[in-house]
Structure formats: C-alpha cells, structure tokens
Amino acid sequence: MIEVTGFRKTYGGFDAVVGSDFAVEEGEVFGIVGPNGAGKTTTLKTLAGLIEPTDGEVRVAGYDAGDPEMRRRLGFLPEESPLYEDMTPLSYLRFFADLYDVPRSVANDRIDDALDRLELAHRTRRLGDMSKGMKRKVAIARSLVNDPDVLIYDEPASGLDPVTTNSVLAFTHELRAAGKTVVFSAHDLHHVESVCDRVIVMNEGEIIARGSVDELRETYGTVEYVVTTTVAPELDDVETTAVAPTGATDAADVTTPSTADGTAPTAAEAAARYRTVVTSMTDVERIRRATVDAGGEVTDVRTDEPTLESVFLSIVGEPMAGAAARGEHVSRHTDEAGDA
Ligand SMILES: Nc1ncnc2c1ncn2[C@@H]1O[C@H](COP(=O)(O)OP(=O)(O)OP(=O)(O)O)[C@@H](O)[C@H]1O
C-alpha cells in the first residue's frame, strides 16, 4: 500500500531524512518511532503529500505522494490539529465532509459512526469549550470523513489522559480490523507496542532498526536472571549482594553470612539470602554449582525481561520520552530454580 524508496528530505542543506526505504502492507498498522528531530513528522508529511521529497520515490495506494487522487484516499492527522473553536463537532465534521463532496446522508452516518466508536459525547458543544482529548477525537474523526484507505497519524495519542489514550488506541485497532492501513508516529513506546504490527526506529534522519516490537526486543534487549541463594557463590567475575529475606527487620539479618562449617546456624544465618544478577543461563548454572559447593542452594531464579525503553535505549543510545520515569526491566517470576 505504501512504498518508500531512497527517500531523502533536505532543508537548506540540512538532511532531515537521509535515504529511507520501507514498505507498508495493506491493512497493517505501522509505527515510526524515534527521539525528537529523528525525521518522523517529515516522513509522515511526505506520505501525506504535504512535503515534496528532495530525492527518492514515495508511493501511496499506487500513486505518487501528493497526487490529488491519492489525497482523496488518505486521511492525515497532524501532530497539532487546531480546530475552529466556534464550531461544534458535528458542524465542523460536516464542513469537512462537504469539502470532500460526501453526500450529506452518507456524511452524517459516517460522522456518527466515527464519534460513536471514539466514544465522543457532547457533539453539539462548542469546540472551544472541549477538553484536549475530546478535540483530538474530533480531529481523528475528521481524518475519516472521506472514508480513506490509508491513515497517517502523527502522535495520535500524545499528551492525552489514560482513558482517552486507550480509547484512541482501541480505535486504531478497529481501523485495522476494518482493513485500513495506518502509519503513525509515537514517542510513547507502549502506544506502539499495543497497536503496531511492525515499526521502524529513526534517529537523526536514518532508519536504524526495523521489525515487530517482539523482534526488536529479542535483538536489542538483554534478559537478566536474578538468582537468589542461601550462601554467596564464590565466583570472581560476578557480584553478589546480601539481601533482606522476606520479613527481615534487622539490618544484621541481611549481612550475617550463613556457614557450612558444621556449627549450627543462627536464625539470622538460616534466613540469609544472596542475590546475583547474570545475563545467561550458563552463568545461572555456574552460580548453582558454586552455591552447592559452598553448602548452600538456589532458592529462586527470576527472569527480568527488558522493558521497551531499555530496548530503544540500546538501539538509539538515548532515552525516549518518558523512559526515565520507568524502570529498565520488568520482572517475570519463573520456576527456573528447579531446572537450574
Ligand atoms: N521546515 C523545516 N525547516 C528546517 N528544518 C526542519 C523543518 N522541518 C523539520 N526540520 C528539521 O528536520 C529534522 C527532523 O524534523 P521532524 O519534525 O521530522 O522530526 P520528528 O522526529 O518528527 O521530531 P519530533 O518528535 O520532535 O516531532 C529536525 O532537525 C528539524 O529541526
């Protein structure tokens, strides 16, 4: 449905996009991800026919981007979508349907359907009095008045409250179910993960990674294994820390080592736990052996999956928006202790 070959866009000698190649299949939700200034908006505006490529070929629905026939088959949602504040959602959307020559009865059904699915109430309220999320929904509905095959959305859910964000993302799912092709950019990687079949990651005008989110996670993420043992394994190349056992309240509980020298352990020693973090199952096995050799045992192995932020950090080399607010790994408890 979309084919981009050797696309380059230069602004006065500055390369905003440096030779990008990608294709989007019909009925696919395709994400463009990247930090500020990566070239996402430039790419989307070019797909929408609003910017001329400096070089390369950009084809949408079989037409060169910008061809009037292509525009009729396309809906574009810009990052900022100022609306006519004195109009109501209904009058505003009917106005745009008229621009596309959509017959009034067809337009009314289409507008009602879009606003129902977007769960927008207050359709006759003045737009200037509506919340940011409501206005965004109206802008999304506007992108659909001509019943386009291809939708180009620049940050559709950015800056919205969680309920509105979910509603917009669920709606994007519905668009795919209805056979639409959707290309959208996002800073929030969780938005991308929840709706995109495939993504490209851009940085400084270049595509630096591509694939499904799972593929990117597999290729660029590091899984960590957190091994808990009753004694500290004596291995020179791994660092082990004493940690509080569940219910420990005294600092002495976490620092007193347990022993295997035949003397009866104190209650604190019996409860002592040690944690070692490694990145391979081979190391988990080494820890198990060293622990057993020292007279102890492995009591738990937890797998920490890489978060999307840590994956993109390793691709792009800088955190995406919001990454700092979240941890680097999410924990998934496993029964691997038994296998280790
Ligand atoms: N009209 C323009 N004239 C000059 N430079 C521009 C113009 N539009 C964009 N740029 C530059 O091109 C680069 C890519 O911009 P673009 O808006 O495509 O990035 P983006 O990935 O969408 O960023 P953001 O996430 O901040 O919206 C940036 O360095 C930007 O400053």
ipTM score assigned to the predicted complex:
0.96
Domain boundary pick from 175, 192, 219: 219
In the structure encoding, which two tokens stand for residue 4, read together? Answer: 């981009």
In short, whether 308's Cβ falls inside 6 Å of ligand 1 is: no
Instruction: Give every CB contact of residue 196 below 8 A, 6+ residues apart in sequence.
Output: 29, 30, 31, 184, 212, 213
Residue 307 and residue 230 share a domain:
yes
Residue 259 and residue 204 share a domain:
no
Instruction: Give every CB contact of residue 94 below 8 A, 6+ residues apart in sequence.
Output: 104, 107, 108, 111
pTM of whole model > 0.95? no
The residue whose CA has the least distance to atom 12 of ligand 1 is 16
Any bridge partners for residue 15, and if so which? 10
Amino acid sitting at position 126: R
Residue 69 and residue 191 share a domain:
yes
Residue 269 and residue 154 share a domain:
no
In short, whether 31's Cβ falls inside 6 Å of ligand 1 is: no
DSSP state of 298: E
In short, whether 47's Cβ falls inside 6 Å of ligand 1 is: no
Show contacts of 132-136: CB within 8 Å, 24+ apart: 132/159, 132/160, 133/160, 133/161, 133/163, 133/164, 134/89, 135/81, 135/83, 136/81, 136/160, 136/164, 136/168
Q: For residue 197, how far is its CA from the centre of ligand 1 (angstroms)?
A: 25
What per-residue confidence (pLDDT) applies to 318?
Answer: 64
In short, whether 9's Cβ falls inside 6 Å of ligand 1 is: no
Instruction: Give every CB contact of residue 295 below 8 A, 6+ residues apart in sequence.
Output: 231, 259, 260
In short, whether 44's Cβ falls inside 6 Å of ligand 1 is: no
Residue 112 and residue 246 share a domain:
no
Q: Which parts of the chain register pLDDT below 70?
A: 244-272, 318-340
The residue whose CA has the least distance to atom 5 of ligand 1 is 11
What per-residue confidence (pLDDT) applies to 34?
Answer: 87
Residue 175 and residue 303 share a domain:
no
Residue 32 and residue 21 share a domain:
yes
SS3 149: coil
pLDDT in tens, 222-257: 888 999 999 999 888 889 998 865 554 444 444 444
Q: What gap in Å lies between CA 66 and CA 142, rounded to an integer?
A: 19
CATH number at residue 171: 3.40.50.300
Q: For residue 81, how far is its CA from the centre of ligand 1 (angstroms)?
A: 17
- CA–CA–CA angle 311, 317, 322 (5° rounding): 65
Residue 288 and residue 185 share a domain:
no
The residue whose CA has the least distance to atom 29 of ligand 1 is 37
What per-residue confidence (pLDDT) applies to 335?
Answer: 40
The residue whose CA has the least distance to atom 6 of ligand 1 is 11
What per-residue confidence (pLDDT) applies to 266?
Answer: 54
Any bridge partners for residue 305, and if so which? 330
Number of domains in the chain: 2
What per-residue confidence (pLDDT) applies to 48?
Answer: 93
Q: What gap in Å lies between CA 64 and CA 10, rounded to an integer?
A: 19
What per-residue confidence (pLDDT) applies to 269?
Answer: 52
Residue 138 and residue 99 share a domain:
yes
Domain that holds residue 326: 221-338
Q: For residue 12, how far is its CA from the centre of ligand 1 (angstroms)?
A: 13
Residue 285 and residue 154 share a domain:
no
Q: What gap in Å lies between CA 340 and CA 337, rounded to an integer?
A: 5
Residue 195 and residue 100 share a domain:
yes
Instruction: Give every CB contact of residue 305 below 8 A, 6+ residues apart in sequence.
Output: 217, 221, 223, 329, 330, 331, 332
